[in-house]
Amino acid sequence: MKTSPKLEEHGDLAEQVVSVIVTGAAGKMGREAVKAISTEPKLQLSGALTHSTGLGRDAGTVAGIEPLGVSLTDDLTTLLAQVQQPAVLVDLTRGEPAFAHAQMALDAGLSVVIGATGLSGAQVESLASQASAQGLGVLIAPNFSIGALLMMNFAAMAARYFNWVEIIELHHDKKADAPSGTALKTASLIAAANSQLQAATPDHAARGQLIEGIPVHSIRLPGLLAHQEVIFGDPGQTLTLRHDTLDRSCFMTGLLLSIDKVQTFEGLVYGLEKLI
């Protein structure tokens, strides 16, 4: 990861207003993002993309706040052509749309924050190559919650002392992907910290999906938002780490930090925990 030449091109970014385009702006996370960005004096919501929900309406009104003078649109090409630099695209959609949005934004000279899930390994590699070639930053953040980031770091610490671990991730019934991006990232961090992991009867159909040698169990139910348990075991003891997201507002501190950090490097960073 190298320092972005945008720091020199645009001078001190801390002294400038940064334009932000939010894709998925009418969704639950998108509405929270619109509210959070509107309260930051150094950020300016310059575009809000939606597939169909709220199309043509003011993004602020859809988010439940005062009108912001930014209408929800489905035309990302026009938004990118009109945005003033320095600028960041925040994508809160999923999978294929997120990948296409990020490619377009990089081509237009924008740094990109992706909170979307479902990107393939090949897509991540493609974005990494494109970002490096264009001297821009891409940050993929499976989770913007500071508490969740700490949980993942604590899990990596504990993994040095426990060879047995399983992950249970619990989300609302509308979440399309499973396992969650947070669970995948947690498993990756644990496996990197311990190459001696063990699992009982890992091939049994009821034992979850094996990720990096770790059984991961995905629960989808109404009434849940986003929760994860990491359970370590050793003879005579267990250690449980758990994080509970009770409201999407908890993601906004990390989201705003991501917008700031993604302008300071070039290439791709996977995981906000690497920048804090």
By annotation, the residues acting in catalysis are: 171, 175
Neighbours of 210 (CB within 10 A): 13
Buried b (16+ CB within 10 A) or exposed e, 241-267: bebbbeebebbbebbbbbbbbbbebbb
Secondary element (H or E) of residue 35: helix 28-38
255 Rama class: left (phi>0) / alpha (psi -120 to 50) / beta: alpha
Cα gap 239→258, rounded to integer Å: 31
Which one, of 128, 110, 141, lies nearest residue 20 by Cα?
A: 110
Q: How many residues does the chain have?
A: 276
Cα gap 92→61, rounded to integer Å: 19
